[in-house]
Structure 1
Amino acid sequence: METKTATTVLHKADTRGKANHGWLKSHHSFSFANYYNPERMNFGVLRVLNDDVVSAGMGFGTHPHNNMEIISIPLEGDLEHKDSMGTSAIIKQGDVQVMSAGTGILHSEYNANKNKEVKFLQIWVVPNKQGVEPRYDQITLNLEDRKNTLQQILSPNADDAGVWIHQNAWFHMTSLEEGNSLHYQVNDAKNNGVYAFVLEGKVTINGQQLEERDGFGLWDIENLEISADANTELLLMEVPMDL
């Protein structure tokens, strides 16, 4: 019986692209805007992973998107969203927001707080359907439900836990206490890989030690073994590897 050997890519936190616009400080795990690295264009259909910090009262003015699944995960503070579909919403830690840009959408994002920064992840996933009707959704998760376990926050299925997108992808988050371990079974081992992003702490995944803001991609695998070397916050993004 042939056994596949996992293929991996390691992106240490300090190797990410950086942008400092004064009001916005951003780290790019993949090529974005003025940061271009031909070896870091994407991980499968995971096209953008931006780690953003927006100053009090500042934000992104109205701008367009199309044919992209856009996921925002606030880490600290409150983010105000408005779009051309008439949506007006505040998202905060524990929330997950998704937009299917489809045929085209305009939106803006501002720090709703006048006295503190907002920190959030902006993630773009290439969809498996072009030209869909634009849509918006957000959910509020119970943070206790990810303590020492995997909390699903995104899937391809509208009736499953978390938000859904037009792609065969699953996202999970966990708050894993030091000394605890988890097992992750890949949903589609034939086609998908997993990109792990450490929000804080130290963790070992399939033998690779990772620290805060490190990214680690694995494919040609069926499962992940995750061990917390310190109290750890972790995001796992399982995505198709073929664009």
Structure 2
Amino acid sequence: MIEVRKFDSLGKANHGWLDANFHFSFAGYHDPARVHWGKLRVWNDDIIAAKSGFPPHPHSDMEIITYVRKGAITHKDSLGNLGRTEAGDVQVMSAGTGITHAEYNVDDEDTHSFQLWILPDRGGHQPSWGTKTFPKDGRAGRFDVLASGRDGDVEALRINADARVLGATIAAGETVEYDLGGRKGYLVPATGRVEIDGEIAEARDGVAIADIAMLRVKALDDAEVVLVDTA
């Protein structure tokens, strides 16, 4: 099953400093057909204005992954962590038993990001935060694992969930494959257009995938895609 969810059909909220687009029900947007996809609970497509951001606020028992598409985000939390994540890179915050954090765009250009929330395997994990640089050239023409709950993915950022977050850059006309094994997948092109089993998704569209063993993604333009593989 493949369902393309066009960008224009997403939930919307524009607060001036934040232009948010919701793939799943979030805040004041609710669609009973789009509450979650497997363990994937939130996929927000955010544009954060220069010199603005999210002030300190708490979370618990959620794995929160931020993929920066353009610009940078600066993170600060109650554990004493302070860090910056730039375009093409990823940060992971395991909220666990509780954490308070702030996310700011301290630069002079807008920050474009995907923020993903994945339900953890259980409650009560120790909270943590980490960020990692993933050079785009390193995942050209293939899916690289950015964050994962699988023990074998030693190079990826750790999440406490039966899920993987993957990224790929694909040249126009080329196809990349991923063994989804019948699990659920949710894919969003950050840039470019892609085709999956005859269905075409443009930049920032969502693609809900189920009951497919081998996922094949063909780039119609030079494309950058993010994929969640989840139970």
Query: Shorter-normalised TM-score: what interval?
Result: over 0.9
Counterpart residue identity of residue 133, structure 1: Q
Identify the residue that residue 32 of structure 2 maps to in structure 1. Answer: 38
- Runs of 5+ consecutive residues of structure 2 not aligned to the other structure: none
Counterpart residue identity of residue 141, structure 2: N
Residue correspondences, number = 230
Counterpart residue identity of residue 100, structure 1: S
Structure 1 counterpart of 2:69, from 71, 75, 79: 75
Structure 2 counterpart of 1:29, from 17, 23, 27: 23
Post-superposition offset of 1:207? 2.2
Post-superposition offset of 1:77? 1.1
Counterpart residue identity of residue 51, structure 1: D
CA distance in 1, matches of 2:217, 2:49: 34
CA contact (8 A) 1:184 1:224 kept: yes
CA contact (8 A) 1:90 1:112 kept: no
Structure 2 counterpart of 1:153, from 130, 133, 146: 146
CA contact (8 A) 2:70 2:88 kept: no
* TM-score, structure 2 as length reference: 0.96
2:224 matched to 1:233? yes
CA distance in 1, matches of 2:53, 2:18: 8
Identify the residue that residue 135 of structure 1 maps to in structure 2. Answer: 128
Moved over 6 A (4+): none
User: What are the superposed Cα offsets for residues 182-215 of structure 1, whole Å, 9 maximum, x if unpaired?
Assistant: 11112xx35x211111111111112211111111
CA distance in 2, matches of 1:184, 1:230: 19
Post-superposition offset of 1:123? 0.6
SS for the counterpart of 1:212 is: coil
CA contact (8 A) 2:71 2:109 kept: yes
Counterpart residue identity of residue 128, structure 1: D
Post-superposition offset of 1:39? 0.9
CA contact (8 A) 2:43 2:115 kept: yes
Cα RMSD (Å) of the superposition?
A: 1.2
Identify the residue that residue 3 of structure 1 maps to in structure 2. Answer: none
Identify the residue that residue 181 of structure 1 maps to in structure 2. Answer: 175
Q: Report % sequence identity.
A: 37
* TM-score, structure 1 as length reference: 0.91
Identify the residue that residue 90 of structure 1 maps to in structure 2. Answer: 84
CA distance in 2, matches of 1:147, 1:75: 16
CA distance in 2, matches of 1:152, 1:133: 23
CA distance in 2, matches of 1:92, 1:62: 20
- Runs of 5+ consecutive residues of structure 1 not aligned to the other structure: 1-6
CA distance in 1, matches of 2:203, 2:26: 21
